[in-house]
Amino acid sequence: MPDSDTDTPSPALSAEALRKKMAEDRAAEISQRSVADEAEFARQKAFAEDFLNNHIGPDERMHIRGLIENAARNREYETMVYSFPSNLCTDGGRAINNALPHWPETLQGKAREIYDLFEEVGKPLGYRFRALVVTFPGGIPGDIGFFVSWKPPIETHRKGG
């Protein structure tokens, strides 16, 4: 037996009612986006405060070590060990993006600590370190990635020399 609720077509909306519904839907969408944007802003602000005001802790060091060990298990010779927004560099990531020799001087907070830790511990053990801009939202530097590599050095051989 047919269900009378589904057999009866819904009444047609007037153009005015349809426009009103569209406006309400749009307002709800904007409101939801606003809430999401506020949450993302709060997350970014908390990250920046932690990044600039706190130190690399044992958990973060273990996480970095785990990333390297996991990459090696997967027969990789490089892995990204840290990333952060380029706006946390003193120049917005421009020196890193342009591979300028003074790029480490633009680092702040935890990024500087990680770089210094690498120079102190990783470099003497034969690891290499590089920083790259890994995202370009709107064509400008977004996130910076720190990469650690343990690739064998490239040897150049000269003939007769």
Tens of pLDDT, residue by residue over 17-30, are: 888 888 888 888 87
Tens of pLDDT, residue by residue over 115-154, are: 999 999 999 999 999 999 999 999 999 999 999 999 988 8
Q: Note the pTM of the prediction, 2 decimals.
A: 0.72
Return d(Cα 18, Cα 137) in angstroms, integer.
Answer: 36
Q: In what order do the strands lie in the sheet with 143-149?
A: 78-85, 143-149, 128-133
